[in-house]
Chains A and B, each alone.
Chain A
Amino acid sequence: MENFEAKKFFSLHADLSVFEPATSEEKQMQSRMRESSSFFKDGLRKLRRDKVSMSCVIVLVLITLIAFVVPPFFPYDYYTTSASRNSNSTKFLSLFEYSPKEQALLDAGEKVFPHILGTDDLGRDYAARVIYGTRISLLVGFVAALIVVLIGVTFGAISGYLGGKVDLIMMRFVDLIYSLPDMLVIILLSVSVKDILTNGPLAGSGIAKLGPGLVSIFIVFGMLYWVGMARLVRGQVLSLKSQEFILASEAMGAGSAHIIRKHMIPNSISVIFISAALQIPSAIFTESFLSFLGLGVSIPMPSLGSLASEARGFLTTRPYLLLIPVLSIFMIILSLNLLGTGLRDAFDPRLKEAGK
């Protein structure tokens, strides 16, 4: 204090003698009350408070766990028929029913795992088929979404970032693909992929075992469905490009790679994430539709769609064969839809205000 000159009468300087140093207690009050929150953390917190979204997460985690953890421990697989398992005659078992041979084993005091959901018409354990079918459907959804994200983000980011003529040409291409009737193209491709896989040189290879439907769904998602994502990312990149902080970053000498990595990607990641989450149910829908048409996974591999399709013949006698896989599809798609909306509300509040 003494170092400072005393305030001169007409000076505009603050009179330092009326100030006193802050006590340590007062200094503590200055410290931040709340930890700083990043955009991502903020969104997660909002999401965690949303009961609907959290119950969807729980349902999805449960279904995924059942589909991926249970199979190795499950005593039955999806392809062994009762004929090859234990007796000469195939037996169409109801819920918790035992085949004659299993009944004999039980009578002899041995333990036999019950067929919780019975079997299908060939005597294959239905619970196992539903579990494996769910697994296939989930895999299709996630892999397809991954393909869409990879291609769409790359294409959109390049188009938006480069701009000009390149952008124009790339976006014309996107427009063109966007206007193709996707389902018809999917069917056409599935038919041909199926044919090539079964009659062509690839017959019997690993790809062929995956099933023409799966392969063509992945091809088609890689060819067609990324355009929505590309448009989205391009729009995002374009609007980011005109923001001041990018200009500031450029002014400070940052290169393209730095700007893309540090500014573009972190700022569009939530939009990409939400759109990808909504892509999964659409892939599962497509797969079940193709399976129903007989273009999906190859026999004997089950998918939820093919299980529902096979159950058609037993609608009058065993409706549960239909209801169980259908319930599974329903739960998965419903949870993903609701979670997607929840994600959007949590991470992109502007969209919520705009309605929808």
Chain B
Amino acid sequence: MGRIADKAGIQFRLLNRRKGPAVQGPRAQMDRKLYRETAWEMLSSYPGVELIFGEVTAFTGTDRKVTGVQMADGSEIAGISTVLTTGTFLNGVIHVGDVSRPAGRWGNDASVGLAGSLAKFGLPMSRLKTGTPPRLDGGTINWSALDMQPGDDDPVVFSYLNDRPYAKQISCGITHTNEATHKIIQDNLHRSAMYGGHISGRGPRYCPSIEDKVVRFAEKTSHQIFLEPEGLDDSTVYPNGISTSLPVEVQEAYVHSIAGLENAVILQPGYAVEYDFVDPTCLRHSLQVGSVEGLFLAGQINGTTGYEEAAGQGLVAGLNAALSAQDRDAHHFSRTDSYIGVMIDDLVTRGVTEPYRMFTSRAEFRLSLRADNADRRLTPVGIELGCVGSERRAHFAKRSAAYSAARSLAEGLKFSPNELSDLGFKVRLDGQKRSVFALLGMADIDRDVLVASIPELADVSRETVSQLANDALYHQYAERQDRDASAIKANEALTLDPNADYSNVGGLSAELARKLGERRPQTLAEASKIEGMTPAALTLLIALVKSKVRMSA
């Protein structure tokens, strides 16, 4: 996916560039057509993969085991593992003003038959909603009146196998809503699907519609809008920041009130979409439905956004579906080694109340979960599971060998304060020798000057130096986090009896006993995430496990 994004990306920006490496996030805007074509090319040329297009209408098998799917044309496809990713299509309904109709998205039918077939599993289901802005014709936008935002000068790409974007890079336009815009929206609020009471599903707090923004932040007289071209040879523009479910004529009016958009033509109106999702607490960490053998769920059906979160789950569900088909153990991503692990753990143990979005603050080990060390964290796992190709394997071996060599060099090379002073660096004159590694982590030492003044480092690549510096920067915190991580791993490893009778455990509140009975957490770590779980109750579970151990010992 990273490789496809590098091929199709038309604007790359590193978020938080001025902040530390642990909170920097590479972002890119895709050319939709390029992305689609590149994905198609990559998947269709993949050995052993056959792509079949069509509407799936039902599952075959029983309500305890899925053996494949039935297509709208009546044909059947058998499978040991089936991964279901329904996006916003499952019983999807789109709303524009007071007009609503079944649809998965603009111009596509909803998936209704499949929703019926899913019902037989008796999974806990509910509704979520999300919104989208009106799409504009770029040819009708007065770009000359707008500020433009280019991408980064030195774009940071996604895949370690690439070092620069492939496609031509573009700029986005920036404009703002104004008081006239807000008045139009305010006056027509009752005609919005959201505010007219037509929608029951919950939308994301972090991505409010323009109606929400005008109501909830009434004191703000202007909101920023990014005008993002959808492709190099596509004039469609995505105005990021004004998603809406107002009637079409109101959308026309407020769009035209915005600077640069006075004559903009709406190609497709904005709308809200409501859809079914499955409460993810009925899933295992492998994303297999706990009560149904062979069925895996990924993406918005699990109550997440449709972006990186959906992509990450696709990887997990696909990987585990394949492992299951090969009769191998599922792979469990840990909170300590990846954001994917944090997300899956949050989903299956806490559930969701709005479309789940990944925030770095959700990760206890943020300082060590970085884009610059993703390969060190996860590629060895991929190699062990057998999902890493030869090119990446070779690249990883080279990169990690370079890192290890540079790390031992940097830890071994030590300088006294006087030697450092001779080199032009000011450190405390405490007689302590400092390693190059430690120096790289010091905020007031210029990394480039340091590297340039030490001949032994001449052969170390800039990229490797940057990895070293990032590790050095967080070194003292990493040690503490390592200790916490082992504690978490120990808790993750502390397994609870899947058949435990929680109704019989005195000291547990009836509510917690019920939740434990329903969720049947497999580990203490899972139990700890159950809503309303108290540390005292956890201690009780630990005692329960330990007394079992004593009894069986």
Does A associate with B in a complex? no
Residues of A in contact with B (beta carbons under 8 Å apart): none
User: Which of B's residues lie within 8 Å of A, judged by CB?
Assistant: none
